[in-house]
Amino acid sequence: MDIPAPVKALKINRWLPYLAVLQSDMRQTQRSWVYRLWVMASVLSAVGYLLYHVGVYQKAGMVQLASTVLSDLLLWTVLGSVTLIIVLTASCISAERGTVADSVLSRGISRYQYFMAKWHARLITVIGTFLVLGGGALACSYFFLQEDLSLMGSIVAMLTVALLLMMVISLGVTFSAVASSTLVGITFLWLLVYGVGFLLTLLPARFPSPYRMLTNLPHVLRGDYSLHDLGQLATYSGVLSIGAALVGLIIFSRRDV
């Protein structure tokens, strides 16, 4: 082995390690079976559900409101998908614990950069995928069903679901950085998300509840939305997500890997 001598000083870009992990994680997520299962299950269930209602509307002549069909689709897709999203996010750091130290964290990257890259990669992948799939379902509902959708209402509905997903993803990444094993992280997060979601439905209507927000989607899709409510949800979601990420960041940057 004859190692080449350096010819000139190496140029350093301090953001490249963050971008390297971000891109690598997005590619890795898209290749994972959990992600593919989530996309496939969402697409198949959406196509099946929409075809049924299009058939009922066009062949039997029964009016099928796009807002009702789409909100049902979003509600059940989200409720069903959350488990897979929990698996996808709560494993993102803990599943690599055996190799991440030697292959990544021993290089020129800080723990902060690594955690942020992982968090952002999962946010982009999961929310991006949801927006693409949801956008497709929205377009199909608009063209093939009794169209009663409002453009702004549709955007607000998609944003509402995206903000709810953002909280789950941020909690998932935090749990994966904090938990001692992937299984423990997934279990605790699953109990937390479904448990708190259920408990919130028991509270009076003035308290925000994810389930109530999702069941209110038909009105939102028709244009009966409140930007104040959306802003409130964005604030809650932002505070919870950033708070959870901060906790994860601090703990991860102090632990042995």
For other proteins, the closer CB: 179 or 217? 179
**Residue 254 DSSP symbol:** T
Alpha carbon of 201 to those of 196, 210, 225: distances in Å? 9, 8, 20
Residue 16 touching other proteins (CB under 8 A):
yes
Residue 181 touching other proteins (CB under 8 A):
no
Burial of 147 (0-12, 13-18, 19+ CB in 10 A): exposed
CA angle 199, 218, 236 (to 5 degrees): 45
Residue 246 touching other proteins (CB under 8 A):
no
- Specify the stretch interacting with other proteins by CB under 8 A; choose among 10-18, 128-136, 193-201, 204-212: 10-18
User: How far is Cα 248 from Cα 94, in angstroms, rounded to an integer?
Assistant: 12
Instruction: Indicate which single residue of 75, 84, 104, 240 sits in contact with other proteins (rule: CB under 8 A).
Output: 104
Specify whether the CB–CB gap between 100 and 25 falls below 8 A: no
Instruction: Indicate which single residue of 12, 60, 202, 205 sits in contact with other proteins (rule: CB under 8 A).
Output: 12
Give Cβ neighbours of residue 157 (< 8 Å, ≥ 6 apart).
70, 71, 74, 217, 220, 221, 225
Q: Token pair of 143, please?
A: 């063209």
Residue 58 touching other proteins (CB under 8 A):
no
| Closest distance of CB 100 from other proteins, Å | 10
Print the binding letters for residues 113-142 with other proteins: x by CB under 8 A, - otherwise. Answer: x-----------------------------
User: How far is Cα 74 from Cα 134, in angstroms, rounded to an integer?
Assistant: 8
Residue 33 touching other proteins (CB under 8 A):
no
Instruction: Indicate which single residue of 30, 52, 55, 102 sits in contact with other proteins (rule: CB under 8 A).
Output: 102
Instruction: Indicate which single residue of 40, 63, 112, 128 sits in contact with other proteins (rule: CB under 8 A).
Output: 112
Instruction: Indicate which single residue of 21, 149, 162, 166 sits in contact with other proteins (rule: CB under 8 A).
Output: 21
Alpha carbon of 70 to those of 43, 133, 140: distances in Å? 13, 12, 10
| Closest distance of CB 119 from other proteins, Å | 16
Nearest to 73 by CA among 45, 93, 95: 45
Residue 19 touching other proteins (CB under 8 A):
yes
For other proteins, the closer CB: 58 or 253? 253
Which residues of this protein are in contact with other proteins, per CB under 8 A? 1-4, 6-7, 10-17, 19-21, 24, 31, 98-99, 101-113, 253-257
